[in-house]
Amino acid sequence: MEGVEIKNELGSNGNHDETDVKFKQPGSNPDFPSFAILPVDRDSEAYNMNHAKRGKAYIFNHENFNPNLDLKTRAGTSKDRDNLYMRLRELDFDVTYFNDLTFNELNTEIVKLANEDHSDHDCVLVALMSHGDDGILYAKDQQYKPEKLWSHFTSDQCPTLAGKPKLFFIQACQGDRLDAGTTMLPRVTETDSPSAVAYKIPTHADFLIAYSTVPGFYSWRNTTNGSWFVQALCYVLSERGRDDDLLSLMTTVSRIVSIGFESNTPQDSNMHQRKQIPCVTSLLTRKIYFKRKTTRRI
């Protein structure tokens, strides 16, 4: 699919560029830029999802935690795991799930996944369901920074995924604030092309990180049916996963979670009838479509 051509005059055009940061911090070494094979034409509007395989999907499911963490058992999370496992397989992913890993075990699996050869894969996907707080997630035995999940997949560290989607879905609280919601009242209505040349991309391009809730707030989970976010995500992937682009799908997920769910804890008035809205951060540069593979995965 061809998109809007990126005109040369939109760039620096020979003029000097500056950064707004006060102090330089170490990152990728600017003296040694990395190189990777182009997976798609520069001006393509959609990612190339026609590789031999869709790609790996890892689900990290946390239900039980070490007693010293003083965290409750996450009843209902196995429903999320099984539901998401089936939906991702339907979209041609090679899915593996892990239960109650320690941080070292989780980190080992993440590093192994990042170090694989993804040349024949469309993308990679990581989903995590656990307890969390503002800026932290929990493994079975300790807390860790969320960026530990995705920092190994930047294009300089994982060149076979450069220019390909790297998708992360996180079901966890991001704080302890409650969303009381706002009641909406009815309104009164009236009756060889330039795209073939080599190009450079930022090392953090092509990521999508979808949290079940916004920073600082609770994320809700039904002890029988699973979390609101994963329920909505799986429903939308099942109903529209092959038709709409991923960001459109995530907008629908946000609408379902925000309008279709409300906490049911009548025994605790402070927690009763509370709301939630997912938080999706997109560093994507193209649209993602999960069209059916012509050959079935093995």
Q: Is residue 16 part of a domain?
A: no
* Domain CATH number, residue 160: 3.40.50.1460
Report the DSSP beta bridge partners of residue 177: 217
Q: Which amino acids are annotated catalytic?
A: 131, 173
What is the domain count for the chain? Answer: 1
Q: The tokens of 159 are what?
A: 């060149």
Q: Supply the range of the domain harboring residue 92.
A: 44-179+198-282
Q: Is residue 266 part of a domain?
A: yes
Q: Is residue 213 part of a domain?
A: yes
Q: Is residue 33 part of a domain?
A: no
Predicted confidence band at 191 (pLDDT cuts at 50, 70, 90)? Answer: very low
Q: Which residue has the higher pLDDT, 16 or 73?
A: 73
63 CA to centre of own chain: 20
Question: Locate tokens 């656990």: which residue?
Answer: 130
> What mean pLDDT comes out for the span 10-38?
53
Given a cut of 90, whether residue 73 has pLDDT beyond it is yes
Pairwise CA distance, residues 161 & 51, whole Å: 12
Predicted confidence band at 194 (pLDDT cuts at 50, 70, 90)? Answer: very low
The answer to whether the beta carbons of residues 247 and 254 sit under 8 Å apart is no
Q: Is residue 190 part of a domain?
A: no
> What mean pLDDT comes out for the span 177-190?
57
For the ranges 29-33, 45-49, 262-266, the lowest mean pLDDT is seen at: 29-33
pLDDT at 40: 72
Q: Which residue has the higher pLDDT, 30 or 178?
A: 178
Q: Is residue 184 part of a domain?
A: no
Nearest to 106 by CA among 154, 76, 144: 144
Pairwise CA distance, residues 58 & 118, whole Å: 14
> What mean pLDDT comes out for the span 25-35?
51
For the ranges 31-35, 97-101, 267-271, 285-289, the lowest mean pLDDT is seen at: 31-35
Predicted confidence band at 10 (pLDDT cuts at 50, 70, 90)? Answer: low
Q: Is residue 13 part of a domain?
A: no
Q: Is residue 100 part of a domain?
A: yes
Calculate what percentage of the chain has a pLDDT beyond 70.
77
Given a cut of 60, whether residue 206 has pLDDT beyond it is yes
pTM over 0.75: yes
The answer to whether the beta carbons of residues 126 and 150 sit under 8 Å apart is yes
